[in-house]
Structure formats: C-alpha cells, structure tokens
Structure 1
Amino acid sequence: MKTLATQLTDEMLSGRFQPATPTFLNCGKQQRGELVSCFLLRIEDNMESIGRAVNSALQLSKRGGGVAFLLSNLREAGAPIKRIENQSSGVIPVMKMLEDAFSYANQLGARQGAGAVYLHAHHPDILRFLDTKRENADEKNPH
C-alpha cells in the first residue's frame, strides 16, 4: 500500500494536485515558514489591536502567508474619541500602515509580502477607502 507521501507526489507529478505556494516553499525546510497560504484577521477599534495587526502583518508575511484584514470595526474619520470631536483618523491611515508592513516584509526571501484590506460597504469611510490609489511595488521602490 502506498504511503500518503507517495500518493501526494504521484498526484503532483500528474498535475492533479497543486499545493499552495507556501507549502512548496516552506515544507521540509529546517527554519520554515507557514504551510498555509492565507490569514484573515479583524482589527478592533483600539490602538492595541491596530498595533497587533501591524505586527501580525509583518510576522505572518515573513513566514510566507498572505494576510487580509477586516477594517470595518474602526470608527470613521472625524468621529469623537472619549467625547472629543474630530479625533479619529479613520481607516485610511491604518490601511497605509498595513501597506507599509506588507512592503517591508520579505516572505523568506522568496517573494515580497502581500496583503489585502476589506471594509464593509456601509462603513462611513467607504468612499475614501474606494478612492485610495493603489501603488504597486514598482512605483514605491524604483530601481
């Protein structure tokens, strides 16, 4: 009877099975990254959660995972904080911090970090969110 490893190898060689890129890049390495491809995390409306999110983007990305964040729990730009009006910066600055973290992370030398952010369609910042210009890595880091 074939072992699971032999069966998987046969399936890959025949083209019937293709594991995710992180599985190929990290499996069997002594200091390997994650074997899963994607992580979806939610950011809560406080500084601790935002800080953890940036750290998670760096840590998971450096291990080869793609990371997505749900920003819908963040209050809109200009919302009061502790009853002080116009204090919240909204989702855009958080999104830019995450973008910088993804750009900084290098997925075990194999590829640049990648990530995505999501915002509920009814969030008050949705129009600003949709208006943000997406820069690709070539525009950010000209060679």
Structure 2
Amino acid sequence: DTLDEPFTVHPNQNVTGAIITFTDRMARLSGTLRAAGGDVLTDQTVILFPANPSLWSPQSRRIRSDRSSPDGVFTFRQLPPGEYCLAAVSDIEPGEWYDPAVLRRLAAASVRIAVAEGEDKRQDVTISSSQK
C-alpha cells in the first residue's frame, strides 16, 4: 500500500506493473470503554494502531487517538482495512502514540482487532484496575 510506504517515480521514468485502486469504502470502529465493574469510563484516551510494527511511522494514517465521550463511547472513522491493536490509556501526552517504544508497551495489553474494507465494527473495551 503506497499510502503507507511511498515510492519515488522520477521524471520520464516508465512505471509498469502498477495497479492503482481507489475506494470510498473505509472502515469504522467504535465501542464503549468500561471499568472492570461495568461503569463507563469518560474522557480517557483510546489509541488504535497497526498490529504490524513496520507500519508504526510518524503521522501514520493508521495510528489514531480518540477520547471517550461522556457515555464512554470512542469512534475511529475512515480506517484502512487491516489488523489493529486497541488500547486505552489514562496518562499519555498528545503525539506520544507515534513513538514505537510506547506502541510496543501498549501492544502488550491491547485488544487485537481486524477491520475489513467498508466494515462498521464495534469492539467494547473493559479496563482492569491494573491497566488504568
């Protein structure tokens, strides 16, 4: 996917064998963030990032963050299809989620999820007290 790993085409260079596919069928992932006791967790950061570490690049379109709403809901729109990790964190600075060391730490306690092209998927997340 050249949107994730660009390549260079030089002037007057012929490119053969390339297939260009356009889609307007991006995926959506939403869910509710809850404490182990069932209470919704509000105003918490939820991070979605690729399961494949080779896609952990600065400003990647596959790395997203959202804050849980007053009813605990988080939503990620316009997602490329793929395998993702979903993690909730209470103490993270904006942009820190692009740091591979942070993503490695989050991946260990994350929920793995796959989204397909055009899919509207729901994945609730329950946080144990040790994860807060």
TM-score of the alignment, normalized to the shorter chain, above 0.5: no
Q: Which structure has the bigger radius of gyration? A: 1
Specify which structure has the higher proportion of helix: 1
| Length-normalised TM-score, structure 2 | 0.23
Highest RCO, 1 vs 2 (Cα 8 Å, sep ≥ 6): 2
| Length-normalised TM-score, structure 1 | 0.21
